Amino acid sequence: MLVIGYATTSPPGQILQHLQRQGEATIKELAAMLGVSATAAREHIVHLQAEGLVAARTERYGPGRPRLVYTLSDEARSRFPQQYNRLITGLLRELLAHEGADKLEQLLERVSRRLADEYSDRMDGHDVTERLNELRLLLEQRGVPAEVVAAGDGISLFACPFYDIAQDYPEVCSMERQMIEFVLGEKLALESSIREGGHTCRFVVKSETIPLVSVTSDM
pLDDT at 215: 45
pLDDT at 212: 52
Question: Domains (ranges, CATH) in the chain?
Answer: 2-79 (1.10.10.10), 101-209 (3.30.1380.20)
Q: How far apart are CA 47 and CA 179, in angstroms?
A: 38
pLDDT at 219: 45
Mean pLDDT by 10 residues, the chain (219 residues): 79 93 94 96 95 91 82 84 59 77 78 76 76 86 85 88 78 82 87 88 78 47
Query: How many Cβ atoms from other residues are within 10 Å of residue 132's Cβ?
Result: 25
Question: Is the whole-model pTM more than 0.85?
Answer: no
- Tell me if 158 sits within 8 A of 147, measured CB to CB: yes
